[in-house]
Amino acid sequence: MNVEKKIQHSLNDLIEIARDGGEFYTEAAGKVKDARLATLFSQMAAHKQEIVSTLSADVAASGGDPADHGTMVGSMHQMYGKARAALGDTNYAYVAELEESEDRLLKAFKDTLKDDDTPAQARMAAERLMPRVVECHDIMRNHKHALKAAS
């Protein structure tokens, strides 16, 4: 596999996982009754869209086609989150599932950065976005802990 294809593969994996999270946040924003959570979820969806857009531009710059869909795992998490929310505390259920989505994205970014086969261009793109990925992860982790402590 040539360098351009490796760049595209690495970044498209991140795009798909970020897209999963963005779609889930958008859906959750419309389902929760707490206006503050709905606003937070909408903001987080926008952050995921920024990640998708930035990485898509990097893929296109390397001559490739950016991923235009999410993953099967992401779809399964979304379905599980909806079912869990329907059966219990909707706010906590969505926050918990979205925090898991953040875990998945953070792990994917870390794996990309750790992988010795990741081309420099893909590594730089991941490094550039990593602070936002960590920030979003920490926000959802903290919300999850706060909601759990309040219950």
- The domain locations on the chain are 3-150
Per-residue tokens: 148: 């759990």
Q: Quickly state the pLDDT bin for 151 (edges 50, 70, 90).
A: confident
CB 28 within 8 A of CB 99: no
Tell which wins on pLDDT, 4 or 102. Answer: 102
CB burial readout 69-101, b (16+ within 10 A) else e: ebeeebeebbeebbebbeeeebbbbbbbbbbbb
Predicted structure pTM score: 0.88
CATH class of the 3-150 domain in this structure: mainly alpha
Question: Mind listing the pLDDT tens digit for each residue in 35-52?
Answer: 999 999 999 999 999 999
Question: Mind listing the pLDDT tens digit for each residue in 60-116?
Answer: 999 988 888 665 555 555 555 555 555 456 788 889 989 999 999 999 999 999 999
